[in-house]
Chain A
Amino acid sequence: MPKIKIPTPLRQYTAGNSEVEVGGATAGETLGNLASEYPDLRQHLYTGDGKLRSFVNVYKGDEDIRYLDGADTEVSEGDELSIIPSIAGGAAKRRCR
């Protein structure tokens, strides 16, 4: 089964796991199965109409699936998918203009 690396901000929805193994033949299917296994994660990965959110990037190995076959990118045993969300942190507190 492919492995999915879970970034820190989303680990609270995967029972603290930083890496999860889920079945799936494509990147899209694997992510869908991940969201089924951890339902709280769904809204953080998908929009209301089921599309992957644009601020969540998914990589197979070191390549963005956008530049492979997107959700149809094939994955197999031992492949590593990584979810890379945008994070903003750097300084102290929230600042507005």
Chain B
Amino acid sequence: MQTRKSLIQSPNGAVELSNEEIARYSRHLIMPEVALDGQKKLKQAKVLTIGAGGLGSPLALYLAAAGVGTVGIVDFDVVDESNLQRQIIHGTSDLGRPKLESARDRIKDINPNVKVETFGEPLSSENALEIFEDFDVIVDGTDNFPTRYLVNDASVLTGKPNVYGSIFRFEGQASVFYAEEGPCYRCLYPEPPPPGLVPSCAEGGVLGILPGAIGTIQATEAVKLILGIGEPLIGRLLLYDALSMSFRKMKLRKDPNCPVCGENPSVTELIDYQEFCGIPQQGAQAQADQVPEITVGELKGRIGNGDKISVLDVREPHEYEVANIGARLIPLSELPERLVEIDKDETLAVHCKTGGRSARAVQFLQEAGFQNVYNVKGGIDAWSEEIDPSVPKY
């Protein structure tokens, strides 16, 4: 039944299934492609998922249900309301709890036979190799470029397959990067985009069901690798578009000049991935710091004193509909053409959701000759938290 070498050696007598497990895995055991030997391989297998978020949720749930013996999870976040639309391993009663705890409880409820190993620290160049070493398959469910390159390089250096998934709005990508047999992530994308050019899910949004589709594909690939069945997505990039409901597969090739998995690799140890991705040590904050700022407290004070200060909201109309503080709305993308609507002598406080887009707007306005423009620090989120909780936080 095997179509390729499985990652796990046949355990033979080393692993046994209890009668409870045999009953639980009945639907696997009656399939010749899995059978008793395959189920034992699953039990023997150790899968590491990076992130217990959108992709990590379905992934960990299905791996646990399928009987993967050890599920490792790296995450250091706590469960927040805005997670519940898609991160189905966490529930409403978990709000405020560390995701690791909530994920562990849910996994243990689904399948108490699973050993859950948790790593409550950010994955870094210092700890990645040591953590990876102990696992058979790495599954990448992260949300940012530095960690993606780190996961890729650490997978190549430790010789592990990296089951990749990524999502944005209605679109997802999945692949298996396994340098021993095919290309790695760097063969596909040698360099990351500069910060700010590609929006994150937090800025761009994501259909809640989308990570369910992609995370489940990642879980499928992990199980296929463990069992050595079918054709894994090695050397193929799966593109999923939920709106057109289309699946396309693109060919990926190993780049002989790849700096990590190529013939003469220049990256032979883990590097500084923040720097590699062009992110200054202070992160996005550094850019925001370069423009004059006003806190929500100061803004409220100045409005209360009757100071002449106008508030400009640069979010999108559909966001304004969700929550607003009655400010004038000119979306950032329309600002250049609607500049004439604003008086250059006005004192302006510009806000968005959290302060990123409004910092760009302030920069743009300054370049256009405005003298008295301030970025509202923390945006409408901060206003909702510190000034007026009746404004919903989204």
**Which residues from chain A sit less than 8 Å from chain B, CB to CB?**
7-9, 12, 18, 44, 53-55, 57, 59, 62-64, 67, 82, 84-97
Q: Which residues of B contact A93 (CB under 8 A)?
A: 77, 143, 200-202
B298, chain A: closest CB distance, angstroms: 26
For A85, the closest partner residue in chain B by CB is B198
A52, chain B: closest CB distance, angstroms: 12
Assess whether B111 is interfacial by the CB under 8 Å rule.
no
Q: A64-B251, A64-B252 are in contact. Are A89 and B193 (CB under 8 A)?
A: no
A84–B51 Cα distance when bound, in Å, is 24
**CB–CB B249/A62 < 8 A:** yes
Q: A84-B237, A85-B198 are in contact. Are A62 and B143 (CB under 8 A)?
A: no
Q: Which residues of A contact B131 (CB under 8 A)?
A: none
Q: Which residues of B contact A87 (CB under 8 A)?
A: 166-168, 171, 173, 198
Q: A8-B168, A94-B284, A97-B122 are in contact. Are A89 and B189 (CB under 8 A)?
A: no
**CB–CB A8/B145 < 8 A:** no
For A12, the closest partner residue in chain B by CB is B333
- Apart from A92-B202, A94-B284, 11 more pairs, CB < 8 Å: A62-B249, A62-B251, A82-B248, A84-B250, A86-B189, A87-B168, A89-B167, A90-B167, A92-B77, A92-B82, A95-B76
Assess whether B19 is interfacial by the CB under 8 Å rule.
no
A88–B250 Cα distance when bound, in Å, is 18
**CB–CB A84/B239 < 8 A:** yes
Q: Which residues of B contact A85 (CB under 8 A)?
A: 193, 198
For B122, the closest partner residue in chain A by CB is A97
A95–B142 Cα distance when bound, in Å, is 9
Q: Which residues of A contact B169 (CB under 8 A)?
A: 8-9
Assess whether B40 is interfacial by the CB under 8 Å rule.
no
**CB–CB B193/A53 < 8 A:** yes
| Cβ contacts A to B, 22 pairs, < 8 Å | A55-B189, A55-B191, A62-B250, A67-B251, A67-B253, A82-B239, A82-B250, A87-B198, A88-B142, A89-B166, A89-B200, A90-B143, A90-B166, A91-B53, A91-B87, A92-B202, A95-B77, A95-B142, A95-B143, A95-B147, A97-B147, A97-B273
